[in-house]
Structure 1
Amino acid sequence: MKATIWHNPACGTSRKTLAILEEAPGLAVTVVEYLKAPPSAEKLAQLYRDAGITPQQGLRLRGTDAEERGLPAASDAEVLAAMAADPKLIERPLVETGKGVRLCRPQEIVREIL
């Protein structure tokens, strides 16, 4: 099975999630450092749809200016465009496998899609 993690190496939760993925037998892991290679608004929309959450639920509030910009109350399209333009607004880590997508906070949630 394959897994893709949208990862921030400076984030403890993201590092712990990556460790779980790397320990899973038979799993081929692709690591995307999303701050360097941000996903498109379309890819984010697909990830959140597949995870069963809204873009607003995938919005990182801590350490960002998302609230000052009014993003928690903005439309899906506005939130997705803001995330694509400024990837620090993306809550992490997001993991996608053949079994689904999860926003892995806490990191143990990743086990649901392994």
Structure 2
Amino acid sequence: MTTTKDDAAILSGVLDRWKAAVDAHRPEDVAELFTEDAVFQGLHPYSVGRQGVAAYYDSQPLGMKAAYRVLETRRLADDVVLGYLAVEFSFTDRPPLDVKLSVLVTRVAQEWHIGHYQVSRLE
């Protein structure tokens, strides 16, 4: 396994805030965790930028919660970490949805933000 504690901590620092904003249904707060030019691919057509991220999470049902587990990390450069995660989205009115998530987090002005987000639904 090539996941390092430092890289996992960087991802968790961003993704813990992502989870808190998703769980509280605060789409604008979710979007602020992304770079201004982030490529975002949820389970709908992709978008580029924070506005698309906010619209995507605003369309999610109230009560949706996210739980994630870091599976792998790779340090691609000093300011870029790749993460591969297992995520379970739970709902109040239907069974949970298990997905795999790939993210690239980049350091911008001493803060880490998501620059690329790609969900895969494996069945």
Q: Calculate the TM-score normalised by the size of structure 2.
A: 0.32
Q: Quick check: which one's helix share is greater?
A: 1
Higher RCO (CA 8 Å, separation ≥ 6 residues): 1
Q: Calculate the TM-score normalised by the size of structure 1.
A: 0.34
Q: Quick check: which one's strand share is greater?
A: 2
